[in-house]
Amino acid sequence: MNIDQRRSGILLHISSLPSKFGIGDLGPGAYWFADFLQQAGQSLWQVLPLNPTDPGYHHSPYSSFSAFAANVLFISPELLVREGLLSALDLRDRPDFPSSYTDYDTVMEYKRRILHRAHENFRSRRRLEKEFGEFRKNNSAWLRDYALFVAIKDHLGGAVWTDWPKALKERKGEALQDFEYSFGAQIERAEFLQFIFFRQWEQLREYCRGRGIEFIGDMPIYVNWDSADAWADTRNFKIDERYRPVGVAGVPPDYFSATGQRWGNPVYNWRRLKESRYAWWVGRLRHNLKLYDYVRIDHFRGFVQYWEIPSQEPLASKGKWMHVPTEDFFDTLRKNFKKLPLVAEDLGVITDDVRALMRKYDFPGMKVLLFAFGEDLHKHPYLPHNFERHCLVYTGTHDNNTVRGWFENEATPREKENFFTYISRHLEVADIPWAFVELAMRSKADTAIVPMQDVLGLGQEARFNKPATTQGNWRWRLTREEITPRVTQRLRVLAQDSDRLSRVCV
C-alpha cells in the first residue's frame, strides 16, 4: 500500500484508547480498535507522537524529554502478565480510574509502581534477556544517553540538566562512570522499559499489518531544551557559554493566537548540523520510519524558515524569520533513504518557497475542512473542489475543536451559512459532523483522515487540545460502548461508496 492510493483512516492517539488502567495502552484496547478499523473498511491509523510526556508540560506529546524514547505509560499491564513479568495479583490494587478521560497524576503513580515491579521480576528471572541485549545494541545511538538522563534527573529531584552538578552537566567521563556504578539498576530499568514498549508496539504493528492497517506517525520538528537530546549533544542547538538557549522556537500571530505562540524549544544550529551531514536528523528519521509507515512532520515550514524568538523575550511577536539550508538537507535525506514517506503539516501561513519544496520532493500536504468556510466559497484552498489529488484531507486536527464543538461554539454566522450553501441544504446540529466526514471521504484527496470524535459526532467536551492553553488537554478517551455496530457499518458503507474501502476487509 502507499499513500497515493485512495484511502481513509482514523486519527486516535494511543492515550485515548479504552483501557482498565487509566490511560490508553498497547494492550487489548488497541487490538480491539484495530479490529474496528478493519471492520469499518479503514486502512490508516494516525497517532500523535509516542515520545515520553512530562507533567511540567501538561503531558503534551509535542513537548518531550526525548526525541527517540517512547512513553512508558502506554505499556500494557495485561501484556506484562502474559509475558510473565507481572502476576494477576500485581494488578489487584488498581485504582478506580475514570473511563472517559485520563487522570495523569494517578496514572503515573500507579504505572510507576507496577512497571518497577515488572523490572524487578525481570532482574530476578532474566526472561527475555537475549532480546533485551539485542535491543540495547540496536538502539545504542540514543538509549544509553536517554537512560542516564532519566536516572540522573530522577536522582536530582527532576532538576533541569543545566542545573546539575558541573561534571554531570558537562558529561565528564569519570563522573558518568561513577554514576553508572552507583545507579546501574535505575539505568537498566529505563532501558528495559523502552525495550518493553517497543516490543509491544511491534506486536501491535504486526497485528495491524495482517489487517491491512498502516500507521501515520507524528514527529514534532523541535525537542525540549530539558531533554536527553540537548544534553547528549549541545552542539546541535544555538546555546551560550552557560548552556542556555540563545533563541527559542514559536510562531508569529496566527489563527490560534493573536500574539503568536512562544513554544520555548531551543532552535537548531543548522550550520553545525550541516557540517555533520545532518547525522542527528538522519538518525531521528530512520528511527521514526521503523515505528511508522508514514511520518507527518509537525510545523513543516520550519525546514524552510523558522521563527526565532530571543530567549529573554516573553512574547512570540518579538521573533524573526531565520533561514535553513533546505535543499541540502532534503537532498542528504534522499541519499540516506530509498523513499521518504513524509507528510508535510503545511497549515497556517505558507509561503511559495514551502510549496515549491513540497512539489520538488513530492510531499503531500494537509487540508482542514474546519478552516474552509469563512471566506470565498470558490477560491479557498481547503474547499474540496480546490484540492489537488496528492494531499490528506482532515475534518479537523488534534488542535481543533471537534466539528460539532466548532459549529456550536466557534463558527461565525457567515461560516455556518457558507457551509450550508456549500452542501446545498440545512442540517440539524447533530447531523453536521457526519456531513463533514462525507465531504472529506467523497473528496478527490488521495487520503481522508477523520478524528474519532467526529466519527462519533461528539461536542466540545471531547476536544483533545486547545493551543496556547495548558489545562484540560490531552485527556479525552474513547469508551468501547461508543463504537456501536451502526457506527462501524455507517463508516464502512461510506468508505465503499467513496472508493476508499480497505482491500483487507472482513
Catalytic residue IDs: 298, 345, 399
Count CB-CB contacts under 10 A for residue 394.
Answer: 26
Looking from the CA of 102 toward its CB, the CA atoms found within 13 Å total 33
Q: Hey, what amino acid is at 30?
A: A
Q: Residue 189 in contact with residue 119, Cβ under 8 Å?
A: yes
Please give the DSSP secondary-structure letter assigned to residue 66. -
Task: Say if CB 340 and CB 288 are below 8 A apart.
Answer: no
> Cell numbers 492515550 label which residue?
15
Instruction: Tell me how far CA of residue 483 lies from CA of 165, 307, 455, 461, 494, in angstroms.
Output: 52, 42, 9, 17, 16
Q: Which residue has the cell 478493519?
A: 38
| CA 395/CA 352 separation, integer angstroms | 25
Q: Please tell me the distance from the alpha carbon of residue 193 to that of residue 195, in angstroms, as a whole number.
A: 5
Q: How far apart (Å, rounded) are the C-alpha atoms in residues 68 and 264?
A: 20
Long-range contacts of 441-444 (CB under 8 A, 24+ apart): 441/8, 441/494, 441/495, 441/498, 441/500, 442/384, 442/497, 442/498, 443/384, 443/387, 443/393, 444/384, 444/387, 444/389
Residue type at 407 in one-letter notation: F
3-state secondary structure of 389: coil
Which neighbouring-strand residues pair with 365? 391
Spatial CA neighbour of 345 closest among 311, 288, 404, 297? 297
**What amino acid is encoded at 484 in this protein?**
T
Residue 268 C-beta-side C-alpha neighbours within 13 Å: 23
How far is the C-alpha of 194 from the C-alpha of 146, rounded, in Å?
10
What's the grid cell of residue 443? 473528496
Neighbours of 438 (CB within 10 A): 16
Distance CA 453, CA 403 (A): 8
